């Protein structure tokens, strides 16, 4: 079993290039199914979720080659719209295959989405979209089938703001007959990135980035080239690292506007931030102020950044409160932080923190990718060694997590647990 060993690292200083966004890439790779010619995507990170998509693509006949940092996709020979339930359930965003293959072939058989297990994550809004466009959805034990003789444009009002269902609606409607209008749509950068890509192929999507999106169906999509936007969530976590012990970290190749809520909060806790056109530098002052965080859909403070922010707030003297309204149960990291000595308590959808209490290394387990980032940051600030298991969750979202954190001076190593180490680790677990 792999694990990460983190040592107290003091100040973290340096620069990091930020890769393409995981959550955009997972949509773009599947959106490529819709094209009628070859597509080239840049900025796609080498992460486990992308390898799963590559496996599914092979199964259905979509050729996907990696060449010099680009992924070249040939969707012309797709011969199946049946996705292995095991593969679909091994990551979250497999639902995009449902939208894209339904649009192209009128029928798809696919397993339920899996991925981060921090909370049950409904897909009712995805189903609502398929039905509104005229498809029938049949649910079986471990898969569902969506089919339509013809997809027809529709007026769709989302009951809640969801980035996944907004993207899926664009995928499903882009080749539907007539006009589709989405209301109460998500405005996340990943939604806009997917729309920009599809429009580049000849789709007619208007208004992405606002709450109302209009899609005029087209019958053919060309090939084309696109580069995924930078990963705002990875960038945010690295900037927070500067705050741990008064360091200075620059993230390069980013779009600063995508991090506005995060940067504002960092300012409030006492981290000085400077933005250039495509880089951001965070200057820790060595002293952090407690604060209150409430997550919200974009442009609010991202749920994916509340966990790393929690690691930072453990260092801020006084009481902080972190509330997650998007995923109210996304708090599996709290019990793990307590194992490091953190004074943090969970009540309803909020974590209550008494910051400034010294942390002590121990064995902790990451249950999802962002919980992993949080434990990693906490481990770098804790005295002694922290062992982090659940590395597979971290690797779902981070390309070379060790290398990039090491480049800012973090003392981290990836290790393989052997039989001799096990008793020591069990002792640490307490
Ligand atoms: N929701 C519904 N019904 C649905 C879909 C969503 O009620 O059919 C609710 C969710 O329960 C949640 C809210 O709507 O309360 C927003 O969920 P959304 O659909 O936007 O989330 P998602 O598409 O499942 C994506 C990211 C998550 C990120 C969220 C929120 C991907 C693959 N995942 O999930 O990223 O936290 O948006 O921004 O794009 C991560 O990267 O670690 C991660 C979990």
CA of 164 to the centre of ligand 1 (A): 6
What does the mean pLDDT of the chain come to? 95
pLDDT of 56 strictly over 90? yes
116 is known as an active-site residue: yes
pLDDT single digits (tens) 229-285: 999 999 999 999 999 999 999 999 999 999 999 999 999 999 999 999 999 999 999
Element (H, E) at 402: helix 401-406
pLDDT attached to residue 430: 43
- The whole-angstrom separation of Cα 208 and Cα 215 is 10
8 A C-beta contact, residue 314 and residue 295: no
Catalytic, out of 49, 116, 188, 324: 116
Beta carbons within 8 Å of 282's beta carbon, 6+ residues apart: 239, 240, 242, 243, 248, 249, 250, 266, 271, 272, 273
Say yes or no: CB of residue 30 within 6 Å of ligand 1: no
Residue with the smallest CA separation from ligand 1 atom 12 is 326
Query: Which of 24, 99, 125, 164 gets mutated to test ligand 1 (max ligand atoms within 8 A of its CB)?
Result: 164
- The whole-angstrom separation of Cα 45 and Cα 48 is 9
- The whole-angstrom separation of Cα 386 and Cα 429 is 11
Give me the domains of the chain, ranges plus CATH numbers: 2-19+230-429 (3.65.10.10), 22-227 (3.65.10.10)
Is 123 labeled as ligand-binding? Answer: yes
Q: What is the DSSP string of 107-168?
A: EEEEEPP-S--SS----HHHHHHHHHTT-EEEE-SSEEEEE-SS-B--EEE-SS--HHHHHH
pLDDT attached to residue 114: 82
8 A C-beta contact, residue 16 and residue 407: yes
pLDDT (average), residues 199-224:
98
pLDDT of 180 strictly over 90? yes
Supply 315's token pair. Answer: 């260092």
Supply 307's token pair. Answer: 């966990």
pLDDT attached to residue 300: 98
CA of 165 to the centre of ligand 1 (A): 8
Task: Classify the phi-psi angles of 61: left when phi > 0, otherwise alpha if psi is within -120 to 50, otherwise beta.
Answer: left
């Amino acid at each position: 079993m792999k694990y990460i060993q983190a040592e107290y690292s003091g100040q973290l200083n340096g620069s990091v290039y930020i890769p393409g966004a995981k959550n955009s890439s997972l949509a773009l790779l599947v959106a490529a199914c819709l094209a009628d010619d070859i597509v080239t995507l840049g900025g796609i990170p080498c992460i486990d979720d992308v390898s799963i998509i590559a496996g599914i693509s092979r199964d259905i006949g979509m050729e996907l080659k990696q060449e010099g940092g680009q992924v070249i996709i040939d969707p012309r020979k797709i011969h199946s719209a049946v996705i292995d339930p095991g593969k679909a359930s091994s990551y979250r965003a497999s639902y995009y295959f449902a939208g894209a293959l339904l649009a192209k072939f009128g029928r798809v058989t696919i397993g339920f989405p899996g991925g981060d297990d921090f909370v049950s994550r409904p897909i009712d809004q995805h189903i609502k979209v398929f039905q509104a466009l005229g498809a029938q959805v049949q649910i079986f034990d471990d898969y569902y089938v969506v089919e339509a003789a013809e997809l027809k444009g529709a007026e769709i009002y989302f009951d809640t703001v969801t980035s996944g269902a907004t993207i899926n609606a664009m995928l499903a409607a882009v080749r539907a007959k007539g006009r589709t209008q989405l209301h109460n749509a998500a405005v996340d950068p990943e939604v806009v990135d997917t729309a920009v890509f599809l429009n580049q192929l000849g789709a007619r999507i208007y208004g992405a980035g606002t709450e109302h999106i209009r899609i005029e169906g087209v019958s053919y999509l060309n090939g084309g080239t696109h580069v995924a936007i930078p990963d705002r969530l990875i960038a945010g976590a690295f900037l927070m690292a500067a705050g741990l012990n008064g360091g200075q970290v620059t993230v390069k190749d980013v779009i600063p506007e995508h991090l506005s809520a995060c940067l504002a909060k960092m300012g409030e806790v006492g981290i000085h931030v400077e933005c250039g056109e495509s880089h951001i530098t965070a200057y820790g002052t060595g002293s952090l102020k407690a604060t209150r965080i409430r997550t919200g859909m974009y442009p609010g403070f991202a749920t994916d950044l509340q966990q790393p922010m929690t690691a930072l707030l453990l260092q801020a003297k006084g009481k902080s409160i972190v509330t997650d309204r998007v995923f109210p149960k996304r708090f599996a990291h709290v019990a793990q932080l307590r194992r490091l000595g953190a004074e943090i308590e969970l009540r309803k959808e909020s974590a209550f923190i008494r910051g400034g209490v010294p942390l002590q290394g121990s064995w902790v387990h990451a249950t999802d990718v962002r919980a992993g980032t949080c434990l990693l940051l906490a481990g770098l600030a804790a005295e002694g060694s922290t062992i982090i298991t659940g590395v597979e969750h971290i690797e779902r979202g981070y390309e070379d997590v060790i290398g990039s954190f090491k480049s800012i001076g973090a003392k981290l190593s990836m290790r393989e647990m052997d039989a001799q180490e096990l008793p020591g680790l069990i002792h640490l677990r307490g």
